Structure 1
Amino acid sequence: MKIDAPNFNYQQGFEVSGSSKFFDDDGRLKRTGTLWTASAHIITAVIGSGVLALAWATAQLGWIAGPTVLFLFSFVTYYCSCLLASCYRDPVTGKRNYTYMEAVKSNLGGFKFKICGFIQYFNLAGTTIGYTIAASISMMAIKRARCFHEKGHDSPCGVSGTPFMVLFGAVEILLSQIPDFHEISWLSIVAAVMSFTYSAIGLGLGITKFAENGKIKGSLSGISVGEVTQTQKIWRSFQALGAIAFAYAYSTVLIEIEDTIKAPPSEQETMKKATLISVITTSVFYMLCGCFGYAAFGDHAPGNLLTGFGFYEPFWLVDIANIAIIVHLVGAYQVFAQPIFAFVEQTAAQYFPESKFITKEIHVPIIPGYKLNLFRVIWRSMFVCMTTVVAMLMPFFEDVVGILGAIGFWPLTVYFPIEMYIAQNKIPKWSKKWITLQSLSAACLVISVCAAAGSIAGVIKDLGVYKPFKTMH
């Protein structure tokens, strides 16, 4: 049902006249998202498996560069997210942009829109692969922890990740049938609680290990040459930048999250507050997990804090943390997959409007309110199967998150938000503000290129010794 748009005060974010009880100004059903649901979505997207690699990343950079880089990434993420949040509506007409790509198309035109679309959906798909890997690693860790507990810490306890990836994929096939982003708030809230749970356990174990050692491990410059070669030191430092960038990645779904928020107050006002709450919360967790993990293990901090077996006991607590990771990643997978699902399904409906296979909704009596769509069932199941197979072929956690962080950080978190802000506000070229924004963008580009190079070098090294579908130790 479509209704005429009411007179909408876009500056203040409330309907002046012609308001509807059931519909928003664009004729869609009233949005119900709040500051807290938006924050839950962001925290679900941000505090993902990336937090588990931060102790390792800090170990590569050291006590000075590690915390400094963590802080700088949090600041850049918050600042650019605020710029992006202001792109949800056209400042003149008030027209909504429902997705990140629509915002780019509206502000920057068709060519950049296509580039953005490719990078965004490649990054989203890659993140779902990374989450499949991370979930299987946690499942393997639970099995191995029990083996270590029963047979001793020196036992090989080899486990294959393949069955666990298949199990995770099967769960995601079921959850992927949830029709759209607006209907997964409950999943995000559960996932956000789980993310706090395992982050807190990881932090607590790190503090305990640090207290047990009785001293702060690590050095000002990070892992020393001797432990690794000079070349490895450089590549691993670059890779650490990618891991930290991945830990803050959520710009790809920011506009989609903003589209769930009700008004008044204006969506961008609520989104900026949600971003501030989320970035502060996650940054505190990140700083604590990264720093205490490094203080506890020094140069030998594991690539995944809760599955690298720096912690063996209490094994039940490590198991609880890994279960929380798995539950969180089940939800986070959907947060990143739903924009891909929506894009493919809307494009298919646009090109084949007469196809009943694509457009027909079938009522399912045993599930009240649920409508089955054959195209949705088949296409989404195929997507989950594809991400699962790729994860089986390349299960290198630190390298994958580094590559994804590097590829997505500059264009999606920095470049496009800055360019859209400049276009919206008609900032003159070579003005002081224009130069400042472009300098920030250029600095972040250099960081992304370095991070990508380091992570690709890591993958090449891993592929040299890895055999797919074999037992992993």
Structure 2
Amino acid sequence: METQRNLSFAVESGYTTSKFDDDGRVKRTGTVASASAHIITAVIGSGVLSLAWAMAQLGWIAGIAAILIFSLITLLTSSLLADSYRSPDPVSGRRNYNYMEAVKNNLGGIKYKLCGVAQYTNLVGITIGYTITSAISMAAVKRSHCLHKNGHDAGCHTSNNPYMIIFGIIEIVISQIPNFHDLAGLSYVAAVMSFSYAFIGIGLSIARIADGKAGKTSISGVSAGVDVTISQKVWNSLQAIGNIAFAYSYSNVLIEIQDTLKSSPPENLMMKRAAAIGVSVTTGFYFLCGVLGYAAFGNGAPGNFLTGFGFYEPYWLIDIANICIIVHLVGAYQVFSQPLHQSAEKWFISRCGTGHFIVQEHQIVIPFVGIYNVSFLRLIWRTMYVIFTSAIAMMFPVFNSVLGLLGAAAFWPLTVYLPIEMHISQAKIRSFSLPWIWLKILCWVCLTVSLAAGFACIQGIISELKHYQPFKSVS
């Protein structure tokens, strides 16, 4: 409370130009570059690893079209969502510090509750998905050495659970970073890592094609009645659409990223530029990874083309790629978990007050590092959260179906419906006008696609879990 009074006094005294922003908070220093790094960290994630498989299910025409359409929709709705950071005016209005607050102030009511359920469920799901993916990559490093030593037919299967625990321990430590404003450095490192493993995957795909080992491809992808049954073709194609949707999932943290930007030029303009850069760069990589990965492996493309051992040699390069994936997901996990942490901690503080010893910051001296502020609330809550996501990941480690379900569940409400509804409300677009009709058509089409993909992914998870024993997953 004392800090807040000091900030308010600073604002009233005209001190905002030096240390504080117009809302009395410490001056934001984020730029287009830092926001682009956050976006790339959030977007180029484990989704890129499944694109070759998705292309194999859909084929050349539908696969390329799906990647392009999802990128255009994401770019459009990101631009609309950027205008919702301030309301009612996108330049001079009151700040909304997170996605839920933007929905509450622009729409309110049941849509605000829908946003809360969709956003936080998806954030939890994504962090679980990243735990699964990182463990698979850790296991792949060990397995690649075994296969190199004992031959490609050796199997060399290893349990994923110890690696999920290792990833969880790392996240418990890293999660003590207080908020988004302190994550820029981690996001820069994670963005570099995402570029690195994407480039390695692209390079290995090109090498495989050049060696004449390319797989069989087709316009329609996997052949129904030949490679798979007709029903499997339908289910897998819908799962592939969900995987591509997941690959563009970052709208649920867009407002939080925008809240790190400095006030001039206007935050919405900087965020739109950052979104254009981030989505354009990732789409380019997605085309390269998806198209070249499909060309390299054909209709038999593995679900994860860096850990499914479509590539065996050079084994050291596969190791480097998987290490890059692990480092990237350490940062991406934090980008997606921060909104949930901040919401939970804000709720606790509202119940207990800022004077409670659990909430207060306590200084500890770390040798060779210096003084570090520790909050018992942050330590307890975030540790429990990481343990929870790690335990769930060990229970349900099914890669492609989980990614597809997360993408399908989040894409319509968070990436399409709510940004469009907030834009209609903020811009005061008349019902049944031409812009209103086009936006509503886009909503309904995306809802239909999301529902179909979601049902297909649920079917895939049920099918995979029939022969699965909890806590005994192997790579």
TM superposition score normalised by structure 1:
0.96
Segments of 5+ residues of structure 2 without an aligned counterpart are 1-5
- Distance across 1 between alignment mates of 2:460 and 2:9: 55
TM-superposed deviation, 1:74: 0.2
Query: What does residue range 389-428 of structure 1 map to in structure 2 within 5 Å?
Result: 389-428=391-430
Residue of structure 1 equivalent to 2:47: 50
Report whether the alignment pairs 1:238 with 2:223.
no
User: 1:210 Cα deviation (Å)?
Assistant: 1.4
The residue type equivalent to 1:129 in the other structure is I
* Counterpart in the other structure of 2:308: 308
8 Å CA contact retained: 1:348, 1:358: no
Taking the aligned partners of 1:420 and 1:59, their CA distance within structure 2 comes to 37
CA contact 2:176–2:382 (8 Å) conserved in 1: yes
In the other structure, the counterpart of 1:140 is 139
- Map of 2:348 onto structure 1: 348
Match of 2:172?
A: 173
Structure 2 match to 1:31: 28
**Equivalent residue, structure 1, for 2:191:** 192
Instruction: Give the alignment of 1:151-230 within 5 angstroms.
Output: 151-213=150-212, 217-225=216-224, 226-230=226-230
Which of 67, 72, 92 pairs up with 1:70? 67
Q: 1:68 to 1:5 in 2, by over 3 A?
A: farther
| 1:83-131 Cα deviation digits (max 9, x unpaired) | 0000001144610000000000000013211110111000001000000
The root-mean-square deviation of aligned C-alpha atoms, in Å, is 1.5
Paired position in structure 1 for 2:76: 79
Provide closer, same or farther for how the CA distance between residues 355 and 59 of structure 1 changes in structure 2, counting only shifts above 3 A: same
Alignment of 1:280-291 (within 5 A): 280-291=280-291
Unpaired runs of at least 5, structure 1? 8-16
For 1:191 and 1:214, locate their aligned partners in 2 and report how far apart those are by CA, in whole Å. Answer: 32
What one-letter code is carried by the residue in structure 2 that aligns with 1:331?
G
- How far the C-alpha of 1:18 sits from its partner, in A, is 7.0
Deviation string, structure 1 residues 327-368 (Cα, Å, up to 9, x no partner): 000000000011110000001111221661442221113364
Could you tell me which residue of structure 2 aligns to residue 14 of structure 1? none
Verify the 8 A CA contact 2:394 2:473 in the aligned structure 1: no
In structure 2, the residue matched to 1:2 is: 7
Give a deviation string over 1:123-147, Cα, whole Å, max 9, x none.
0010000000000000111111001
Deviations 1:424-454 (CA, angstroms, capped at 9, x unpaired)? 0110110100000010111110110011011
Measured against aligned partners, the alpha-carbon deviations of 1:237-267 in whole angstroms (never above 9, x if no partner) come to 0000100000000000000000000121000
Q: Distance in 2 between matches of 1:211 and 1:340?
A: 46
Please state how far the C-alpha of 1:181 moved relative to its aligned partner: 1.2
Match of 1:11 in 2: none
The residue number in structure 1 matching 2:324 is 324
Show the counterpart of 1:13.
none
| Aligned amino acid, residue 378 of structure 2 | R
Distance in 2 between residues matched to 1:397 and 1:423, nearest whole Å:
38
**Aligned amino acid, residue 160 of structure 2:** G
In structure 2, the partner of 1:10 is none
8 Å CA contact 2:208, 2:214 repeated in 1: no
How far 1:468 moved relative to its partner?
Answer: 2.1
Give 3-state SS (helix, strand or coil) of 1:305's partner: coil
Picking from 436, 439, 442, the partner of 2:441 is: 439
Compared with structure 1, are the counterparts of its residues 354 and 28 closer, same or farther at alpha carbon in structure 2 (3 Å cutoff)? closer
Q: Using the TM superposition, give the Cα deviation of residue 5 of structure 1 relative to its aligned residue in structure 2, in angstroms.
A: 9.0
Larger CA deviation: 343-352 vs 250-259: 343-352
Residue number in structure 2 paired with 1:360: 360
Q: Which runs of 4+ in 1 moved over 6 A?
A: 4-7
Matched, 1:377 2:375: no
Distance 1:86 1:386 in 2: 35
Structure 2 counterpart SS, 1:217 = coil
Q: Is the 8 A contact 1:88 1:268 kept in 2?
A: yes
TM-score, normalised via structure 2 length: 0.95
How many percent of aligned residue pairs carry the same amino acid?
Answer: 55
Residues 39-90 of structure 1, C-alpha deviations (whole Å, 9 max, x = no match): 0000000000100000000000000000000000000000000000000011
Give the aligned residue type for 2:458: I
2:3 aligned residue = none
CA contact (8 A) 2:354 2:360 kept: no
Deviations 1:391-429 (A, max 9, x none): 000111101100100000000000000000000011011
Which amino acid in structure 2 is aligned with residue 388 of structure 1? S
SS of residue paired to 1:430: coil
Decide whether the 8 Å contact of 1:349 with 1:358 is kept in 2: no
Amino acid of the structure 1 residue aligned with 2:140: A
CA deviation digits over 1:143-164, x for unaligned, max 9?
1100100000011211000000
Match of 1:295 in 2: 295
Letter matched to residue 405 of structure 1: G
The equivalent position to 2:388 in structure 1, one of 372, 382, 386, is: 386
Q: CA deviation at 1:274?
A: 0.4
Partner of 1:41: 38
Looking at structure 1, the residues matched to 231 and 354 of structure 2 have their Cα atoms a distance apart, in angstroms, of 58
